[in-house]
Each structure stands twice: as C-alpha cells, then as structure tokens.
Amino acid sequence: MAEQKAPLPTDPVPRFGFGAWLMTVTGNAWLLFGSILLGSLSVPASWVPPRGSWGFVLMRYWARGLLKASGVEVSAELPQGFDPQGNYVLLANHQSMFDIPALLSTVPGPVRMMAKRSLFRLPFFGWGLAAAGFVPVDREDGSKARQAFASASAHLSAGTSILLFPEGTRSRTGELLDLQRGGFLLAIRHGLQIVPVGIRGTRQVQPRGRWDIRPGPVEVRFGEPIDPAAYGVRRMNPLIGEVERRIAVLAGLPVAGAPD
C-alpha cells in the first residue's frame, strides 16, 4: 500500500552549494521569462475553444519548465481507485511555492486550481492563471469568497475537477495546519469524492519566505478517493479529521496541535 512507503525527510533544508546556486539562477530566470512567455501566449489561447483548456496546457508546460530549470524531479503515485478522467475535489498540503508546479505537472485529467487572489494580480503569470480558468480566492472578503465558491461549483458541474490547498496558507513549521471547510462543502454539495493529496520534498526545495532553490526529489501522492456522502454535513468534523489524517500520512507530516 502507498501509506507504507518510507517518507522523504522533511527537515532540515539542504545545504546551499554550487548546484543550488546554479538552480537558483536558472529556476528564477524561468520563473521570470517563462511567466512572460506564458502570459503572452495565454491571452490569445483563452479565446480558442474549449475555453480554459489551452490555458491549462500552457500552465502545465510552465510548471514542467520551472521544475526542470530548478533541478527538481517529481514523481507521482496514483491509487487503484482513482479515475484520471473522473470528477473530484482534490485537497493537498501546502508548504512551498513549488507545490503548485509539482501538482500542475502531475495531476491527471482536466482540473482547475483555486489560488489566492494576489497571484492573479501578477503581470503575465496572473494572466496565465486567468486564461487557464483558475479560481481566485479572497479569504478576507466574504462576498468575493462566495464568488469563488460559485466559480468552483460551475467547474465541478461542467465535469472539471477542482484542486485546492485547504490549509489556506503555506506551513512554516512543516506541520499540517488545520483544514478549512470550503473544499468539503463543495464536495458534499456536488456529491463528489474527495481525493487527499500528499506532497513531499517541496519544503526542502524552497521553504516559505526564501528565494533560493535547492534541487532535489519531490513526491506527489494521490490517496484513495473518499465519499463524503458517508458523512454528510452533520458529520463534517469527522470527515475533515479523516481527510486530514490521510493527507498527513501521504505527505509524511505531523498534524499541528496533535498530541505526541
């Protein structure tokens, strides 16, 4: 079983040597110039039907280019019960900016990501997010949060999976933070299965608050789908607890606030 696999180390961040210096230069160069290329191509691509599909293809190429330029090798693991063309709500842990390219390069099937609104304000890169049909989230504005929920619901109704980080922010400590309810409500509302996703190794590549890049391996592990119908809205807390437990196991992380 996937959960029996030995975890990648989560601490400390590797030493900064010549290889890391080189990958920092090439990775950040791609982050700049690759984003300019992505944004420039995404505007005309957004008008080519089906809308959003070509934008997602460009985002996937951007992600793979960033990983290659940064010396990051990503491997993915899918469970037997996962349908690559299925309609899911995917919930992943979040520790690094590199979680985004790691997921975009490996997630199978049509998917749209929910991301913080500030990313959409970035020149070129933000244009690429919008062209790909990704959903901006503003957690400080209740009305805009409702708009994000409605946009995500529209994608799910159209048969496209939604991917989000239920912690809401990147963990600084390496622990899995408390999961927010939005993704769970989406899954229950649409009667869709939840796929827990564990990402390992990105914190070693680039932890939150750092600009330097340490090349290394990253694993993206997709867990067995969970049917929220077995829980329902009244048993939301047990559902969140079960998803939290599975993400922590897949990612090899402790849960913040959990007893030793």
pLDDT of 137 higher than 90: no
CB count, 10 Å around CB of 137?
Answer: 25
pLDDT of 10 higher than 60: no
pTM over 0.75: yes
Q: What is the Cα–Cα distance from 91 to 177, expressed in whole angstroms?
A: 13
pLDDT in tens, 37-87: 999 998 888 787 776 688 889 999 999 999 999 999 999 999 887 888 889
Give residue 169's pLDDT band: very low, low, confident or very high (50, 70, 90): confident
pLDDT of 13 higher than 60: no
Question: Which residue would you say has higher pLDDT here, 113 or 4?
Answer: 113
Question: Cis peptide leading into 50, omega within 30 of 0?
Answer: yes
Angle between helices 182-190 and 142-157 (to 10 degrees): 40
Average pLDDT over residues 121-138: 89
CATH topology of domain 2-251: Glycerol-3-phosphate (1)-acyltransferase (3.40.1130)
